[in-house]
Structure 1
Amino acid sequence: MTQNKLLLTSIFGPYGISDEYAEGAGMQMELLNNQITREQGIHSPRQSYWSFGLYLLAINISVPAAVLDFPLWDDFTKELKQGYTHIGISFIVPNVYKVKRMTEYIRTHYPGMKIILGGYGTIIPNLDEIVSYDELCKGEGVMWLRDYFGEPTDVPVKHPVLNGPAYESIYGFSSKPKGSVLLTGLGCNNGCVFCITTHQFKKKYIPLLETGKDIFQACQNAKMELGSSGFTIMDENFLKIPLRARQLLKEMQTQKRPYVFDIFSSAEVIQEVGVDFLVRLGVRMIWVGVESKINSHAKTKGIDLKKLFNKLQSNGIVVIASAILFQDHHDPETIQDEIDWVISLGSNLVQFMNYTPFPTTALYDGLKKEGRLKKCGLQISEWRR
């Protein structure tokens, strides 16, 4: 009987271009320059991050697994020769036609290899009409893979040591990043109607590192292996479990080992835990969804955001505000008012995103019920935009 062997891969490069396989808008595989600092031109920092989920999956299953991250096409086809029985491809919606090319190649040259698709790209309706695959990984990937391969699902999740960003440069000069990334949990129970993350996990939060002690140990591991003292916490709303954050602070105080963190949080949780606590925890940057002045959400109701941001900044914490454009109430006048309002809050950086009705979200379901969604055939590259 052939032993299972798994290849986990992201989609192939090059990136940031438009061709028959690439992203419709030439989407960059970056964060800052793609959606936050692009208009700063040459002054914009350039950096990209690894596909962290793949590394988490690889070390948490017994099946021999390899990770191929950001491969070029030749890297991808060469690696397939290593005798894999299964391949897992992680992708987002705009890259679906890259996945199509990858799966077509596999079906032609390795017809016995099982294809598993994962990531947010799996939300595309009738995906099987575009891409050939055997399984879709839905929800939390570690438990899904363990169940798929018949392994115990009650084994604690191990956290990989992850450096990040993968590269970093500004003004053409590169530096070697020394930071690390923590994957503390998935999903969010705030349930914002537009949020794909909250709906992918059925409006629930799934902790991967359940206690502050677990998080501290992951920091220690990265410190020993990479020399990291600063961490980006990839978690939609890290402070939503205040007890865990307090446990982390206690561990750092007890062990006399301080670390610093970049986190995502909602305004009501920041208000609950207090700015003083964030300072003691070592938060150096916080990303806050303000969304809209008019179409407000429960997480911002009754909160003076400008005052909150000012207090954070006066205590040395960098603030990124995230807002959403092209909502129902926006017209040429109101959308400019909304932009001016977000800027007036005084955050250090601002992200503007589109109000996009991704499938599985409450926003998508509501618009579909109202008959306000266009019917797009496969000949329309709607999913690449």
Structure 2
Amino acid sequence: MYVKLIQPKMLRRPMDTDLKARMAPPLGLLTIVSILKDNHKVVLENENIEKINFDDKPDLVGISVTVDVLNRAIEISRKFREKGIPVVAGGIQITSAPDFIPQDAFDSLCIGDAEGTWPEIIKDAQSHSLKKIYHCKENFGADDIVSPAYDFVKKSKYLYTNIVHTSRGCPFRCDFCYNSSKNHKYINRNIDDVLADIKKINLRHIMFIDDNFIGNPAWTRKFLEELKPLKIKWNAAVSINVANDGELLDLMKEAGCKSLFIGFESINPSSISNVHKVQNNIKNYENAISEIHRRGIMIHGSFVFGLDGDSTETFKTTLDWIVKNKIETVTSHILTPYPRTKVYEELKKADRITSTDFSKYNTAHVVFKPKNMSAEELYEGYLWIYRNVYSLKNILKRLPDCKEQRAAYLTFNLFYRKYGKFTDFLCKIISYKLVGKIAQLAGRYL
């Protein structure tokens, strides 16, 4: 069979440039490539970096769907289905909320991991008997996980191709997160498989893109011991409770950790308690930051605004706290009620959802009624945080005490955020791959 896999184009947020869209290739679709490529012709088209070829005639189309690209995915599907080509939709939105997908949008929905669904999808497509829904098998585990087809990546089109996942899902169920929907579970990969991916990439810097790298601390310890001999540098996303385990932090440092993405979400205790972020204890935030910084590890902090405990004062309070604690980089989000999360159900019940245009569900639009401020105040505060975190004054104030961190810190703050448009222009001239290499040479390990 000839199978075309498609990543629909994401809509840029106000602070983003094309650097965001070209950050890294889609591992989910590359996993499907691995499943199929030995026995079928496979093409992967990422609309963020290239146009979709609607003129060819594949036997089957597969589309990866997040909620913000759902509208575009439906448009793409329609164009192929009008030519009699069946379309399968999968991805995090389909798995989290399949009942939100219009019945006539796709021929089939793929719920759960690709390895547990696509072999059956291909078999049925070959016999022209596709089912409406495919569920991943119940006993899906680590031995079933397939490595992405790294050799399939168009490296010149991306800033980074050094991305590896060590797990699927997250053990926590925060109310606003996709992982709080019922179809998600947490699985660690086999350590030997992860090490094989790292060696296959053959670079000295790796980005682990798990939802939570320390979701199973016992597994993480074993993995880090195996990772140390490779002498690579890496970054990962973790929950804040990593700082409760000094031995684990020491081991992470020894194994090459350079930075950690941490979802602080809010410094307001009432905001955190309302969304069951049980792993976050705000009283311990500053001590946790100190413990991480003391080991020469940088922090990328993630914050959500618009939680029910927030007011207009929250923005300045958060900015002052970020600057005081020298959080090296920051991602800001407007609370977004992803379908079938607990936050969505609660806001819907309270008649507080104001938009069902899912293209706006990208954490950069206000699609609900905030409790203690207007929608306009929430949006303007969100933009204000970005402008002020990445002002030259606050970039200098947050300069890391550890001199070894400064090249990486300045590279990200200046050339990705503050002057991202110039960097994007440069990438278009000399290629994203080359600029990514330059960033790594400058010490960019975020």
Checking the alignment, whether the CA contact within 8 Å between 1:93 and 1:124 is kept in structure 2 is no
Checking the alignment, whether the CA contact within 8 Å between 2:3 and 2:61 is kept in structure 1 is yes
Checking the alignment, whether the CA contact within 8 Å between 2:265 and 2:302 is kept in structure 1 is yes
**Aligned-residue offset at 1:268:** 0.9
CA 1:179–1:8 in structure 2 vs 1: closer, same or farther (change >3 Å)? closer
Amino acid at match of 2:167: G
The equivalent residue for 1:337 is 317
Q: Within the alignment, does 1:70 sit opposite 2:46 as a pair?
A: yes
The equivalent residue for 2:147 is 159
**Aligned-residue offset at 1:167:** 5.9
**What is the alpha-carbon distance in structure 2 between the residues aligned to residue 345 and residue 339 of structure 1?**
10
**What is the alpha-carbon distance in structure 1 between the residues aligned to residue 196 and residue 171 of structure 2?**
26
**What is the alpha-carbon distance in structure 1 between the residues aligned to residue 353 and residue 160 of structure 2?**
45
The equivalent residue for 2:195 is 216
Checking the alignment, whether the CA contact within 8 Å between 1:187 and 1:201 is kept in structure 2 is no
Amino acid at match of 2:7: S
Checking the alignment, whether the CA contact within 8 Å between 1:261 and 1:285 is kept in structure 2 is yes
**What is the alpha-carbon distance in structure 2 between the residues aligned to residue 365 and residue 133 of structure 1?**
25
Q: Which residue of 225, 230, 234 maps to 1:261?
A: 234
CA 1:270–1:141 in structure 2 vs 1: closer, same or farther (change >3 Å)? farther
**Aligned-residue offset at 1:96:** 2.9
**Aligned-residue offset at 1:279:** 0.5
Checking the alignment, whether the CA contact within 8 Å between 2:115 and 2:146 is kept in structure 1 is no
CA 1:120–1:339 in structure 2 vs 1: closer, same or farther (change >3 Å)? farther
CA 1:270–1:329 in structure 2 vs 1: closer, same or farther (change >3 Å)? same
Amino acid at match of 1:77: F
| Identity in percent | 18
The equivalent residue for 1:98 is 72
Amino acid at match of 1:146: P
Alignment of 1:225-236 (within 5 A): 228-236=203-211
Question: Which 10-residue stretch deviates more, 318-327 or 342-351?
Answer: 342-351
Amino acid at match of 1:261: W
CA 1:30–1:158 in structure 2 vs 1: closer, same or farther (change >3 Å)? same
Q: Within the alignment, does 1:141 sit opposite 2:102 as a pair?
A: no
Q: Which residue of 234, 237, 240 maps to 2:215?
A: 240
**Aligned-residue offset at 1:353:** 0.7
Checking the alignment, whether the CA contact within 8 Å between 1:233 and 1:261 is kept in structure 2 is yes
The equivalent residue for 1:205 is 186
CA 1:271–1:250 in structure 2 vs 1: closer, same or farther (change >3 Å)? same
Checking the alignment, whether the CA contact within 8 Å between 1:161 and 1:221 is kept in structure 2 is no
**What is the alpha-carbon distance in structure 1 between the residues aligned to residue 348 and residue 159 of structure 2?**
44
Checking the alignment, whether the CA contact within 8 Å between 1:86 and 1:114 is kept in structure 2 is yes
**Aligned-residue offset at 1:5:** 3.2
* TM superposition score normalised by structure 1: 0.75
Q: Provide Cα deviations, 1:162-182, integer angstroms capped at 9, x if missing partner.
A: 4899569xxxxxxx9675111
Unaligned runs of 5+ in 1: 17-22, 35-46, 169-175
Checking the alignment, whether the CA contact within 8 Å between 1:91 and 1:119 is kept in structure 2 is yes
Report how many aligned residue pairs link the two structures. Answer: 336
Q: Within the alignment, does 1:88 sit opposite 2:65 as a pair?
A: no
Q: Provide Cα deviations, 1:8-31, integer angstroms capped at 9, x if missing partner.
A: 11125xx76xxxxxx797975644
CA 1:106–1:73 in structure 2 vs 1: closer, same or farther (change >3 Å)? farther
The equivalent residue for 1:132 is 105
